Structure formats: structure tokens, C-alpha cells
Amino acid sequence: MIESFLSAVALAECDEMGHMNIQHYAGKAEAAAHVLAALGGPTARGYAQPDQMHLRFHREMLAGDRVRVMSARCDLEDGPARRPRLVHRIENVGTGLLCATAVTSYGDDAAPRAPDGALPDEAAPRSLTAPAPSGLTREEAGAAHLQRTHLSAIAAADCHADAMTIPAFLQRVSRCQSHLWSLVGFGRRQQAEAGLGTATLELRVTRLAPAPPGRALEILTGFTPPTGKALHYRHFGFDAMTGALCFIAEGVGVMMDLSTRRAVVPPIPDTQFA
């Protein structure tokens, strides 16, 4: 692997629990890919956005923690073809421990250059192993009782080459989570009063359409009631003007007791939202 990014966690990158937010793990993986593209030199192909990013979270990062990304290329064998893929290890420099992994998949051999490597066990999908759904329409989402949790305009700063980036989409998904918990009847205020918080364990984002600047993005959210401690949810990002499905974010998380830092069975009341 090669060092592809070195920085520190800013206070503005942290959530209400003081942890670096999910979109910034994705942002650091994308920053590492930009560095790899730049290190490829003037003859390398320009940076291209990944089609999919799969994140696994292992340890929390706090404001002021020093962060390093180590990267390698580990193409996926897809029948007779090979799908370009990068793996990024997001590490805490101070402790030397792995905090997250990001595996990014590309099309048309567009992945930046990096040393060859194998996909480590800690980066392999654990719960999100089935193919991402891709054919959902806005009407089908409404019929399935998915609820609107976000609506905003897409700015040029959200995009690369006139297409919204994965970190920009996850910034919106992060805001959707407050709506999600309110919809299931146990919002952020109730969680705080009970001394509880939430943590994402695994997240997969799939890009399906460009979502260019000047358009509006609408996110509809679905939730699977937990059978144990794990919480499963999906956020579908639609172009509010055309109805095209642009992004899907699938997440697995837990609710935790903030005093013991242990996962608990979420005290979620019965709900019609699913």
C-alpha cells in the first residue's frame, strides 16, 4: 500500500457525539484517490468518480486525531472481466489503529494508479453483500411507504465534472438520519435523554446517475425494524425534476449506551414506517 493522504480531523467534521461524521470518511477516501491521480503524472488519465463506495467503520475518530490513508489497487474479478477497484485504509496516526476502510469501484478502467494488493478481511462486505437495488422509481418508493427526509438544490461545490460526489450525497444522508429516527418514534432528543446514541457499522453508496448542479435532490428513506441490535436502512436519492434515481445509500448500524459504549437493543416503538 502507499500513503495517499495525511491530515487531521477538524472539529467541523464531527457530529453531535463528537465523532467524525460518515461523509468525512468518504471525503478522505476520495481525497486519497485525487492524490493517487495526481501522483500518476501528466500522462495518467484524469480523476474519475467511483461508481460505488463500500465503507466499514471499526473505531471512532475524534476532533484533533491525526488521520492517514493507505491505498492499494485490488481489482474485482467479474466473470471474464476485471472491475477496477481501490481499497483505502483510514488510520489513526496517534494510535496506529485502523478506524475505517473504503473500497471504491470504478468503470472502464478509470481507477487511479496504486500498488497492487489484496482486499483485506476487514474491508470485505459483512452485512451488505447482495447487489444494490437499481430499478426503483419515485412512484414505487412512495407505494412502499418510503418517506421524504431531504430536499435541497445541488450546487457546483457538490459536484466533480458536473456530477454530484459521494461525499456530497452522504452529507445529505447524515442530515436524513435525524428524520429517520423521528419517523420510527425515537428521535435524537429522546435518544439523548435516554443516554443513547447511534453508530454506523457498514455503509454502501451506489451512484446511478450524474445529479448535476442546478437540479434538486430529493431523498426518500426506508427502514427495516430490527430483529436484534442491528438497524438496517436505505436512502434513495432522486432527481426531483426528472424522477431519475441518482444514488442509493444502504446502512447498517447499532444503537449504543453512551456510558458503556456498548450496543443495546433499540427501544423503538411499533411504527408503520418501514
How far apart (Å, rounded) are the C-alpha atoms in residues 56 and 12? Answer: 22
Same domain, 185 and 85: no
Q: What is the pLDDT of residues 26-64, one digit of tens each?
A: 999 999 999 999 887 655 566 788 999 999 999 999 999
Residue 201 belongs to what domain range?
A: 127-274
Same domain, 229 and 256: yes
Same domain, 174 and 69: no
Q: Answer for the pair 157, 220: CB distance below 8 angstroms, yes or no.
A: no
Q: What is the pLDDT of residues 90-118, one digit of tens each?
A: 999 999 999 999 999 998 767 888 999 99
Same domain, 135 and 263: yes
1-11 residues labelled b (16+ CB within 10 A) or e (exposed): bbebbeeebee
pLDDT attached to residue 273? 58
How far apart (Å, rounded) are the C-alpha atoms in residues 167 and 218? Answer: 16
Question: pLDDT band at residue 270, thresholds of 50, 70 and 90?
Answer: low
Same domain, 99 and 3: yes
- Read off the DSSP letter of residue 64: T
Q: Average the pLDDT over each of 164-173, 178-187, 239-248 and give the range with the smallest value.
A: 178-187
Same domain, 142 and 110: no
Q: What percent of the chain has pLDDT over 90?
A: 58
Give the total number of structural domains in the chain.
2
How far apart (Å, rounded) are the C-alpha atoms in residues 101 and 116? Answer: 16
Residue 246 has pLDDT above 90, yes or no: yes
Beta strands per DSSP E along 215-266? 216-224, 230-239, 245-257, 262-264
Same domain, 156 and 234: yes
Read off the CATH number of the domain in which 246 is found.
3.10.129.10
For residue 220, what are the contacts with CB-CB under 8 A and spacing of at least 6?
Answer: 138, 141, 142, 146, 147, 148, 149, 235, 236, 238
Residue 223 CA: distances (Å) to CA of 57, 108, 146, 184, 220: 20, 34, 8, 8, 10
Comparison of pLDDT for 226 and 206, the residue scoring more: 206
pLDDT attached to residue 44? 58
Same domain, 116 and 139: no
Question: pLDDT band at residue 209, thresholds of 50, 70 and 90?
Answer: very high
pLDDT attached to residue 257? 83
Same domain, 97 and 171: no
Same domain, 171 and 211: yes
Domain boundary among 124, 154, 169: 124
Domain boundary among 124, 156, 176: 124
Q: Answer for the pair 199, 99: CB distance below 8 angstroms, yes or no.
A: no
Same domain, 246 and 152: yes
Mean pLDDT value across the chain: 88
Mean per-residue pLDDT, 259-264? 84
Same domain, 137 and 266: yes
Domain boundary among 69, 96, 124: 124
Is the pTM here over 0.85, yes or no?
yes
